[in-house]
Chain A
Amino acid sequence: MKTRLTSFDGTESFNAECVRPDRYSRLFAELSSPRLLIPRGAGLTYCAASAGEGVVSIDARSFNRILEFDPATGYVTVEAGITLGDLYRFTVPRGWILPVMPGSPSITVGGCIAPNIHGKNQFKDGNFRAVTDELRLFHPDHGELICSPRESVDLFKLTVGGYGLTGFILSARLKLQRLEHSAFRLRRLKVASLSEAAEMMKELADKVQVLYSWHNLNGSQFGRGFVYAGDPIDSRTNHQELRYQELDAETRGNWKFPLFSRLVTRSSMAAYALNQRWAGEEVTVSLPQAFFPPVGKEFYFKLFGRAGLREYQVLIPHDQWPTAVDQLKQIIVSHSVPITLASLKIFRGRGGLIDFEGDGVCLTLDAPEGQMTRELFAHLDRWTEDVGAIVNISKDSRLQSSFLERIFPEFDSFRQQLATFDPKRRFDSALRMRLDV
């Protein structure tokens, strides 16, 4: 089907072809086509990782079956088109949970593997690679391949975080975590600054299961916010049923005009802060609320209108954080861009290649698309480089290879490994073209 595909942030769109095979014979026929291909899940990656001009996007969502499950060990094998919401509905009643999940239940497992996403507490649970035990991959020039942390390790590392460029994931074996509770006690801890939040979160990181913060970076309230720390509890009043509205890039941009102006952003941030303060310091939340906090707030993405949003997600090493956070305030104040979301998480580990993984503080910023935002983000790029940070490639449609080569020591290694594995560039996307890999 010839169609126009849009990145989730709404800033890129392409004349592309999308196919939706619903059985293996059709899938392999599509994958054997000489055309440029890219697997596609729900299309919820902020940048255009599953689409591109002249590229055939293969919608994987018909391949959403659960193939194996061991209730004793918690290993589950699924086709990569299964959504996290669907998987949640299967595992939770059986006493297991996938510990690393992004906020939207509409995202597919393939969509988690491709950017090697992180969840609610990366410090404790790692990125998605940490829960991926084995992958079955298909590449038209290599056939079916199995890779895991034990077998074809380089291909495994290249695929988890490889943005779908190594082939179509037929199935993934995932390691679930035992679910021994039925709800979360979410503490809402008031903080006066980003620094205070980071210090508090470093203390809490290995003690709680859910940990993130929210901050108002607009106006005189700069940095004020809340740290959310969730501990599992048993609750009689909990409900585990997950209900959500499907999210996709096309309906995200349904509203023509953006509603976030500086005034609206300031007022809504102030109102949200007030609401959180009144809501008290502690609340019991259901499992779906804890694992998928954005559910029920999907309208947030629509408020950016057709023009879309920009997200900047950066991982700042701990030793650079104090300097970085001071500079950050100056940069943001100097640009007068409405910041519609600011949040921190604590990270650890070492990813390699182009993974968004490491020891440090993760900062996420959202702003409406526009010239001023692009100028702010360009300024943030220089700041990122100065403080030795890395950015999340999946979140930002602006990022260019020249910048990424400087901040990711293994960027060139990623490029070379990909060229060695897929020299004919059978798999391609707007992201690959932009990154020049």
Chain B
Amino acid sequence: MSNDAKTAVIVGASSGVGRALAGALAAQGWKLVLSARDPRDLEAVAADLTLRWNAECFSLPVDLSNCEYSGAAFCEECVNAFGVIDALFYVAGAIDDHDDGSTDDETTRQLAEVNYVSAIKTLGAFAKRFEQRGRGTLVGFSSIAAAAPRRQNVVYASAKAGLETYLRGLRHRFADTPVLVQGYALGYVDTAMAYGKKLLLPAVSADAVADEVVRNLDRDIGIRYYPAYWRLITLTLRLLPWFIYKRLRF
């Protein structure tokens, strides 16, 4: 492990895309702050990456659904662990099977916290840090549901739309600076969120998403749909007249 290895923070590192991303970065020699709710999952992921890739990992359990969660305090802990942070990946997300837009207050709050409020708290805290340092990469993960909401996952989709808007704004703020702001609107990915659901198109693997993210790390890509064909599909869906859109079951 070289001393000039880059350091990334992955929020939501215990499963799905976050875990795949941790593996892809570890394979390239990055030092990692791994964050998720359950310490046991984090310990397992950290042990695995350390053994497979000799990666230097620091586990930082965090409850993103807690309204008292502080992005600044979290950022501080990450910096304390490794000194310098080069990239933040906010991959965490939450869905609820009963999210039809009229869930109880607590469920709605938790969905909003994890998918939006804690996301922008974290991205905002690291944005400040990266601005002071003069460089860094901020990556957020949205969903195709943000562009084409439907009757299920209503709160989730609206939170992701908010996150996407936030990322666009942040990218504009850091335009022409070395701080990069990237967003991914993910289509179907073979994770717990998609497992067992009837999907219109095949789900891509979390590893494929991770490879795409790592490939684009130094590029000012803005908000990118992955797989790319989802841009066309969501654009088509948005252009559909309401009398057709309302009949769709997707």
- Residues of B near A299 (CB, < 8 A) are none
Q: What is the CA–CA distance of A199 and B191 in the complex, to the nearest angstrom?
A: 52
- Smallest CB gap from A79: residue in B: B44
- Residues of B near A278 (CB, < 8 A) are none
Q: For the complex formed, measure the closest distance between the CB of A287 and the CB atoms of chain B, giving whole angstroms.
A: 19
Q: What is the CA–CA distance of A1 and B97 in the complex, to the nearest angstrom?
A: 13
Q: What is the CA–CA distance of A359 and B195 in the complex, to the nearest angstrom?
A: 45
Known: A1-B196, A24-B38. A65 touches B16 (CB 8 A): no
Please tell me if the beta carbons of A22 and B191 are within 8 angstroms of each other in the complex: yes
Q: For the complex formed, measure the closest distance between the CB of B57 and the CB atoms of chain A, giving whole angstroms.
A: 12
Q: For the complex formed, measure the closest distance between the CB of A56 and the CB atoms of chain B, giving whole angstroms.
A: 12
Known: A22-B16, A23-B38. A67 touches B44 (CB 8 A): yes
List CB contacts (< 8 Å) of A152-186 with chain B.
none
Please tell me if the beta carbons of A24 and B40 are within 8 angstroms of each other in the complex: yes
Q: What is the CA–CA distance of A378 and B177 in the complex, to the nearest angstrom?
A: 77
Count residues of A near B (Cβ-Cβ below 8 Å).
Answer: 21
Please tell me if the beta carbons of B51 and A66 are within 8 angstroms of each other in the complex: yes
Please tell me if the beta carbons of B44 and A90 are within 8 angstroms of each other in the complex: no
- Could you show 24 A-B contacts with beta carbons less than 8 Å apart? A1-B196, A3-B196, A18-B196, A19-B196, A20-B192, A20-B195, A21-B192, A22-B15, A22-B16, A22-B19, A23-B14, A23-B38, A24-B41, A25-B38, A25-B41, A26-B192, A65-B47, A65-B48, A66-B51, A68-B47, A68-B51, A69-B51, A90-B51, A90-B52
- Residues of A near B191 (CB, < 8 A) are 22
List CB contacts (< 8 Å) of A24-40 with chain B.
24-26
User: Is B60 close to A, CB under 8 A?
Assistant: no
List CB contacts (< 8 Å) of B31-62 with chain A.
36-38, 40-41, 44-45, 47-48, 51-52
Query: B residues touching A (Cβ–Cβ < 8 Å)?
Result: 14-16, 19, 36-38, 40-41, 44-45, 47-48, 51-52, 191-192, 195-197
- Residues of A near B37 (CB, < 8 A) are 25
- Residues of A near B192 (CB, < 8 A) are 20-22, 26
List CB contacts (< 8 Å) of A1-52 with chain B.
1-3, 18-26
Please tell me if the beta carbons of A67 and B41 are within 8 angstroms of each other in the complex: no
Q: What is the CA–CA distance of A79 and B195 in the complex, to the nearest angstrom?
A: 21
Known: A67-B44, A79-B44. A23 touches B15 (CB 8 A): yes
List CB contacts (< 8 Å) of A45-104 with chain B.
62-63, 65-69, 79, 90
Q: What is the CA–CA distance of A348 and B52 in the complex, to the nearest angstrom?
A: 35
Please tell me if the beta carbons of B52 and A66 are within 8 angstroms of each other in the complex: yes
Q: What is the CA–CA distance of A434 and B14 in the complex, to the nearest angstrom?
A: 38
- Smallest CB gap from A68: residue in B: B47
Q: For the complex formed, measure the closest distance between the CB of A55 and the CB atoms of chain B, giving whole angstroms.
A: 16
Q: What is the CA–CA distance of A21 and B195 in the complex, to the nearest angstrom?
A: 10
Q: What is the CA–CA distance of A21 and B41 in the complex, to the nearest angstrom?
A: 12
Q: Which 4 A-B pairs have the closest CB atoms?
A: A1-B196, A65-B48, A22-B15, A65-B44
- Residues of A near B16 (CB, < 8 A) are 22
Q: What is the CA–CA distance of A329 and B191 in the complex, to the nearest angstrom?
A: 51
Specify which of B15, B40, B52, B197 is in contact with A62 (CB 8 Å cutoff): B15
- Residues of A near B48 (CB, < 8 A) are 65-67
Please tell me if the beta carbons of B38 and A65 are within 8 angstroms of each other in the complex: no
- Residues of B near A26 (CB, < 8 A) are 192
- Residues of A near B41 (CB, < 8 A) are 23-25
Q: What is the CA–CA distance of A26 and B196 in the complex, to the nearest angstrom?
A: 15
List CB contacts (< 8 Å) of A324-338 with chain B.
none
Please tell me if the beta carbons of B196 and A65 are within 8 angstroms of each other in the complex: no
Q: What is the CA–CA distance of A62 and B48 in the complex, to the nearest angstrom?
A: 13
- Residues of B near A66 (CB, < 8 A) are 47-48, 51-52
- Residues of B near A22 (CB, < 8 A) are 15-16, 19, 191-192
Sample of 8 more A-B contacts, CB < 8 Å, known A67-B48, A90-B52? A1-B195, A22-B16, A22-B192, A24-B40, A25-B37, A65-B48, A68-B47, A90-B51
Please tell me if the beta carbons of B195 and A67 are within 8 angstroms of each other in the complex: no
